[in-house]
Structure 1
């Protein structure tokens, strides 16, 4: 700031006076400007301070709310963990068509053999899970065994492991009663039915957090490999599954990485069922861990029976020394005379002539169709003209199922008049061109197609891309078994 010099001499100079006044005025303006600048900056600082104070308060409130939410979530997580621990369980999925119980357990099927089997299996699974996890002693064990009960019962009776087929149902009842979470599920006739249920259960429960471990018993069937293959590179999910081996596992299962493996040899057979029968011994009681060995079997190093020698098998089923037609029928018609009662036997004698209708299956249990009588063109044209004239189709249920139709008088298709034999045969040709949805169909009276007739009769189909039954192209056409409407099965 420049200094203003005041002239105090007696000589008044107006010019100097004006200059001095201007100097005072400039000084005042500079001071005023400085003050205004300071006031403006102070005001700005006050506003900034107020803003920061509000921001701080907001941040403090946010942090407090966040901490409260963290505490709440941590409490919820702890609660969920407690509930998860309380809801945890172990699931065993077993394909009972291939994983077969020990001979001693089956021999006592009618005398609580199933109860002993459930106890042994519960023990074996508990010991296995305890070796894998800490604090797993309270986890419930759920066991589902899926099998075709009637078919397996016939097989077990034919080889003498049970006295009669109905004993296997008693075995299943005792098995379920012993352990409330153990169940043997009868899937009926059809190879893929057990497979489908096990695959869906595996898919559903492997991602369920309350299912802490799965024991999978299906290593005898290569069809399950694809379902397990998706987990082999996911170490955590693979370690969540134990592969239960009974009979020698398919090679593909041995090559799966990261999966746990176990055997329950005191519960399940480690050899496949024999093809021939043998006479059962009585088993008044079961000693756990000491499976019985039927006559004609040699004991293996593991203490399990092996398949009998041909000499033993043949002698147990030998025909009389001087056979007659009647004696041959009586000796060869029943497998294991003391093991299977006449009403529930598997016949290997020439098939008796009867009016029963049969459904035929190949070795893969896929339904096969019997060839129809040659088609009468006149009859074929006659039913076409009849449907065209009436403006509606014939009722397949009524004409091909002994006059049975669930819709009765309300049916929109033609019932009367009845068709001649030639016309019925022509109608069957029409319905056989429509594919049945079930490749393992058990309906003996099913009139739909289960097999491409072109391929069956001439070895090839002229309509490979448009045939309604093209999904059956290439299927095995050799008959292996048949079932009638009474549920009786015969091996062919």
Structure 2
């Protein structure tokens, strides 16, 4: 019997066939799985291609938009920088130009403008604006009549008109400069400065604002809004009050290699040097300082705000007037029977104004008075510069003409506070 036809052989062949059939099925499953994955991959690749094309289009669009924005930004920067400027705001009632410049108003005003502009440019040399040739807009706000009177009484200028000439020449010296007369009123200059500070800070073309008003704490509220902003530069004429230093704003003085720029303020009475000319400004009380063995220095301080408050208080007590004895010596022999006012409280600055007014009246003892506490005047306070002669009350008295010459005005004695008697200087 043939072995291949035996039942065992057939079973063997069937088993082998089943093995190969299983292998074919596994291979087919593998091929099907591979084909499915290939199809998925092709779909994914197509999606990636679509995404890539979309990203390419987007990137191209974004790049074009970016280039357009850069061009626009460059154009805006050019437009902004083309008309950029720096501003200088000066409270003319609290900061003045140097005496030497004011005394020759025509030439001094032009020199003041030049010095002020150069001082600003010197400051900008150390900033990112050094490469830009920026115009310097200067605005000085002051009560010109009050300022002129104060400077004349301080012997800084001879005539009130000198200040008017200085202001006009300063304004006309360059198109960027304005010396603005705001008229009488203690808030006029302050209000102008506050509004102009706000205006310039809102103007993106204004790169810096130099603010000369550190003598007046009333500006602190407005400056606090710009604390830490380097665009605001405080300019000292007197040492800045502590409140200004807490604002974290840059502070400068307009001094350049020892050459003083246009704006200055008078030092306090105790800081006047013993020799040489003192550069005066307006502060708040009137003194005359006579250094031993040196030249006579007049440091007149006239506070315009104090003048306003003094006038207001005087109006409130009319028809009464302030008692000279009570306010200037501390006692009044008439006491409660005095027909003059004792009740109003005067500030030190207002007392200084009242003392000045008392000095305009002639003492009953004239030049024969030896009372060192006398609050009246014994000669015309304007001396050889008096413009009222011959109608001045000191021109025709029982002692003759009480207008002293420059030689007469040389100090003969000095009485220092705290000493019992005066000392002879001649």
Give the match's secondary structure for 2:214.
Answer: coil
Identify the match of residue 262 of structure 2 among 260, 267, 272.
Answer: 267
In structure 2, the residue corresponding to 1:94 is in which secondary structure? strand
Q: Which residue of 2 aligns with 1:74?
A: 70
What is the aligned length? 306
Q: How does 1:68-467 map to 2 (within 5 A)?
A: 68-109=64-105, 111-133=106-128, 135-136=130-131, 138-206=133-201, 208-229=203-224, 231=226, 234=228, 237-238=229-230, 240-253=231-244, 257=248, 259-264=250-255, 265-271=260-266, 300=275, 304=279, 308-309=288-289, 361-363=308-310, 370=316
- Is this contact kept in 1: 2:152–2:159, CA < 8 A? yes
Residue aligned with 2:253, SS: strand
How big is the shift at 1:259? 1.9
CA contact (8 A) 1:368 1:479 kept: no
TM-superposed CA distance for 1:57, in Å, is 1.0
Query: What's the TM-score once normalised by structure 1's chain length?
Result: 0.49
Does structure 1 retain, via aligned residues, the 8 Å contact 2:149–2:160?
A: yes
Distance of 2:4 and 2:313 partners within structure 1:
136
5+ long unaligned stretches in structure 2: 282-286, 297-306, 320-340, 359-426
1:298 and 1:308 in contact (8 A); partners too? no
Q: Contact between 1:87 and 1:210, CA under 8 Å: does it hold in 2?
A: yes
Distance change >3 Å, CA 219–CA 366, structure 1 → 2: farther
Look up the SS of the partner of 2:94 in the other structure: coil
2:182 and 2:189 in contact (8 A); partners too: yes
Distance 1:25 1:256 in 2: 92
TM-score by length of 2: 0.55
SS of corresponding position for 1:138: coil
CA distance in 2, matches of 1:62, 1:257: 46
Q: What do residues 251-274 of structure 1 show as CA deviations (whole Å, max 9, x unaligned)?
A: 544566552321343523431699
Gap regions ≥5 residues in structure 1: 1-6, 275-296, 317-359, 374-455, 460-473, 483-489
Aligned pair in 2 of structure 1 residues 46, 165: CA closer, same or farther (>3 Å)?
Answer: same
Shift in Å, 1:160 = 3.9
Structure 1 distance, partners of 2:172, 2:77, is: 32
* RMSD (Å), alpha carbons: 4.9
The 3-state SS of whatever aligns with 1:50 is helix
- Please say if residues 362 and 480 of structure 1, whose CA atoms lie closer than 8 Å, have aligned partners that are also in contact: no
User: Within 2, Cα distance between the matches of 1:269 and 1:9?
Assistant: 132
Over 3 Å counting, the alpha-carbon distance change for 1:251 and 1:366 in structure 2 is farther
Aligned residue in 1 for 2:60: 64
Q: Cα–Cα, structure 1 residues 39 and 155, in superposed 2: closer, same or farther, change >3 Å?
A: same
Equivalent residue for 1:55?
Answer: 51
Change in CA separation of 1:211 and 1:251 when aligned onto 2, cut-off 3 Å: same
